[in-house]
A and B are shown apart, each in its own frame.
Chain A
Amino acid sequence: MSAIFKKIILAVAVLAAVLLPFVLEDFRVFQLNLVLIYAIAILGLNILTGYGGQISLGHGAFYAVGAYTSAILISQVGMSAYLTIPIAAVVCLVMGVLMGFPALRLAGHYLALATFALAIATPQLLKYKGIEHWTGGVQGIILDKPTPPFVLTLFGNELSEDRWLYLVILAIALGLFWLAHNLLSGRVGRAIVAIRDQPTAAAALGINLTFVKTATFGLSAAYTGIAGALSALAVAYIAPDSFPSFLSISLLVGVVVGGLGSISGAIFGALFIQFVPNIADEMSKSAPWAVYGGMLLALAYVAPDGVMGILQKLKKRRQS
């Protein structure tokens, strides 16, 4: 495929993505918003776990911090919703870097353990009475969805709040995916992967392990934090129960389904964790999690590289 042809396909796909909400009902658009948000969060976790090889079972905590940062700034300070997103990113970046320092000393299982503890402790921490006047305690915080700045009607559908939010989230998601692609396919990405595969050799080649590892953690947390902030806007309500310990595991499921160390796989992972539970839910309240667990096991044995791995294999087979 020539480079120009690829660019045309990309442009058509983006155009289709922009027009998509105008042919769907509001509720479907809302679901798509969540897909995009999950995709950003999964991409964030994948930067850390898939590329960096640092296992985090606690990324739900960053998601929650992003959401709460945004919601508190809107409800308590009265800040514009859009402004809170970069602030949430910075807050999570700092938190990620702080978490990255202990992570330097913790390899493999131990990092997984520390972040697992973070995942389990988060819901209780969010309910803590000492910070109730900020977080709203168990009641949570109710927000208004941002209103669209102009009136527009396309295909007989007007630009509703959800549709406007979709466009905002899509723009942010495209920006973040573009950023991740450029970062990871260049020098920085090679350094991150080198540290994952051969830390000693990477250090010998002059890569600053401390800096790259903490920076990766910070970047990953910032991505997930942005996703959290957007989720607060999209759902317009947050409470401790929106961020259960299993949220972190959902994100991991998304990463594994999409494919470890793959950027575009995040979309597949997000589609999976948004829609599969809805379908499985009809059987039993526990069915989605049974499916998640089964998927994790099955993929670990059969397709360790997820959907993107399978697609690449098919592509190779067709070419040969």
Chain B
Amino acid sequence: MDSFLLQVTAGLANGGIYAAVGLALVMIHQATHHINFAQGEMATFSTFIAWAMIQAGVPYWLAFVATMVVSFVAGLLIQRIFLKPVEKAPILTNVIVFVGLLVIFNAFAGWIFEHTIKSFPSPFPVEGMFLAQYFSGHQIGSISVTLVVLLSVFCFFRFTPLGLAMRAAAFNPESARLVGIRVSWMLALGWGMAALIGAVAGMMIAPIVFLDPNMMAGILLYGFAAALLGGIDNPWGAVVGGVILGVLENILGAYVIGSDLKLTMALVLIVTILIFRPYGLFGKPIFSRV
């Protein structure tokens, strides 16, 4: 029983990360109906920036915040520079740009920071603060940080005028433009926030999986699955989906299929969801008129 509970708690911690990555994907998908294939590599790159700062002697939390700011600005700039020119281009062009960004971030992460596997510090104590037999300190810390991020995102969208404007821009761009919202800038803001959330996810997962340029590939896959499971247009769905997947992954990995096929499991999940319930558990079916 105890080992089962340990799997569940480890799953919760991973689930929080998947939820964050899923949320980042949902943010961009909601606004632009694009799936950001570069999300994982952007997060990895952000994590490398944090690592470099910590190596240089910057205190952890300062580096943490600085990385969030840098990632936000970088995400914003990426949308302005790379995505805006192809906003109206065919889907294929957009996918090519996303893949191009993925490859560039991966290459530069390897070029600047090298391919050796690095350990990334955790700011939390080794021992858990409570329920120490089930949670490690990092797990509790990672879950709390993820929760704080998710709550702030929720409050931002729910209670601030800017959040309202962003929701309006995503929901109905034409009408939003008519009431004076700068829709294109709202998209850029969404990109910045997605990059920021991704960076947090990267910094929280790096102590567990270690840091290298390909760190996020598998995690991104689970982030996709989380977003799809919850319904790719539903932020809460992505969070719930992420937590469900994290627990499911660990339990299935420990008792049913072993750890060798975790990525295949994500693949099967993604394809199954897309075929049988493309709008996810909590999304609404989309119909298109001829």
**Residues in A lying within 8 Å of B, measured CB to CB:** 49, 53, 55, 57, 102, 105-106, 108-110, 112-114, 116-118, 120-121, 124-125, 127-129, 200, 245-246, 249, 252, 256, 260, 284-290, 292-297, 299-301, 304
Which residue of A110, A116, A128, A290 contacts B278 across the interface (Cβ within 8 Å)? A110
**Contact present for A57 and B95 (CB under 8 Å):** yes
Residue B99 at the chain A interface, CB threshold 8 Å:
yes
**Contact present for A300 and B100 (CB under 8 Å):** yes
Contacts of A289 in B (CB 8 A): 103-104, 106-107, 110
A105 to B35, CA, bound (A): 17
**Residues in B lying within 8 Å of A, measured CB to CB:** 33-35, 37, 82, 85-86, 89, 91-97, 99-111, 115, 213, 217-218, 220-221, 224, 260-264, 266-267, 270-271, 274-275, 278, 290
Contacts of A129 in B (CB 8 A): 260
**Contact present for A105 and B275 (CB under 8 Å):** yes
Contacts of B270 in A (CB 8 A): 113-114, 117
Q: Is the interface of A mostly helix, strand, loop or mixed?
A: helix
**Contact present for A120 and B111 (CB under 8 Å):** no
Can you report 26 A-B residue pairs in the complex whose CB atoms are below 8 A from each other? A108-B95, A112-B35, A113-B35, A117-B221, A117-B266, A120-B263, A120-B267, A121-B264, A124-B261, A124-B262, A124-B263, A128-B264, A260-B92, A286-B107, A287-B107, A290-B104, A290-B111, A293-B101, A293-B105, A293-B107, A294-B100, A296-B97, A296-B99, A297-B100, A300-B96, A300-B97
**Contact present for B274 and A102 (CB under 8 Å):** yes
Nearest-CB distance from A213 to chain B (Å)?
A: 15
A57 to B92, CA, bound (A): 11
Contacts of B264 in A (CB 8 A): 121, 124-125, 128
A84 to B115, CA, bound (A): 37
A116 to B93, CA, bound (A): 16
Query: Given A53-B92, A249-B103, are A120 and B271 neighbors across the interface (CB < 8 Å)?
Result: no
For the A-B complex with A102-B275, A245-B217 known, give 5 more contacts whose Cβ atoms are closer than 8 Å: A53-B92, A120-B220, A124-B261, A256-B96, A294-B104
Q: Which are the 6 A-B pairs with shortest beta-carbon distances?
A: A296-B100, A293-B104, A293-B103, A289-B107, A286-B111, A286-B110
A303 to B102, CA, bound (A): 20
A121 to B91, CA, bound (A): 24
Nearest-CB distance from B142 to chain A (Å)?
A: 23
Contacts of A53 in B (CB 8 A): 92
Chain A CB count within 10 A is highest, among B102, B109, B262, B278, for B102
**Contact present for B218 and A120 (CB under 8 Å):** yes
Contacts of B109 in A (CB 8 A): 286
Chain B CB count within 10 A is highest, among A49, A129, A200, A286, for A286
Query: Given A109-B33, A124-B263, are A292 and B103 neighbors across the interface (CB < 8 Å)?
Result: yes
Contacts of B102 in A (CB 8 A): 249, 293
A302 to B269, CA, bound (A): 37
Which residue of B103, B260, B290 contacts A128 across the interface (Cβ within 8 Å)? B260
**Contact present for A128 and B95 (CB under 8 Å):** no
Nearest-CB distance from A139 to chain B (Å)?
A: 16
A128 to B85, CA, bound (A): 43
A101 — nearest CB in chain B belongs to which residue?
B275
Which residue of A117, A293, A295 contacts B271 across the interface (Cβ within 8 Å)? A117
Contacts of A128 in B (CB 8 A): 260-261, 264
Query: Given A105-B274, A120-B217, A290-B104, are A252 and B99 neighbors across the interface (CB < 8 Å)?
Result: yes
A200 to B289, CA, bound (A): 11
**Contact present for B261 and A57 (CB under 8 Å):** no
A112 to B102, CA, bound (A): 14
A49 to B91, CA, bound (A): 11
A250 — nearest CB in chain B belongs to which residue?
B103
A128 to B104, CA, bound (A): 30
Contacts of A246 in B (CB 8 A): 103
Query: Given A129-B260, A286-B107, A296-B97, are A301 and B85 neighbors across the interface (CB < 8 Å)?
Result: yes
Nearest-CB distance from B139 to chain A (Å)?
A: 25
A298 — nearest CB in chain B belongs to which residue?
B100
**Contact present for A290 and B108 (CB under 8 Å):** yes
Contacts of B94 in A (CB 8 A): 109
**Contact present for A296 and B274 (CB under 8 Å):** no
Chain A CB count within 10 A is highest, among B37, B267, B278, B290, for B267
Nearest-CB distance from B225 to chain A (Å)?
A: 8
**Contact present for A285 and B96 (CB under 8 Å):** no
Nearest-CB distance from A118 to chain B (Å)?
A: 6
A105 to B271, CA, bound (A): 11
Which residue of B33, B115, B271 contacts A114 across the interface (Cβ within 8 Å)? B271
A280 — nearest CB in chain B belongs to which residue?
B107
Nearest-CB distance from B123 to chain A (Å)?
A: 30
Query: Given A102-B274, A106-B274, A245-B217, are A118 and B267 neighbors across the interface (CB < 8 Å)?
Result: yes
Contacts of A252 in B (CB 8 A): 96, 99
Contacts of A290 in B (CB 8 A): 103-104, 107-108, 111
Which residue of A110, A120, A285 contacts B221 across the interface (Cβ within 8 Å)? A120
A129 to B97, CA, bound (A): 36
A70 to B13, CA, bound (A): 43
Contacts of A304 in B (CB 8 A): 93
**Contact present for B37 and A116 (CB under 8 Å):** yes
A291 — nearest CB in chain B belongs to which residue?
B107
Nearest-CB distance from B74 to chain A (Å)?
A: 16
**Contact present for B274 and A293 (CB under 8 Å):** no
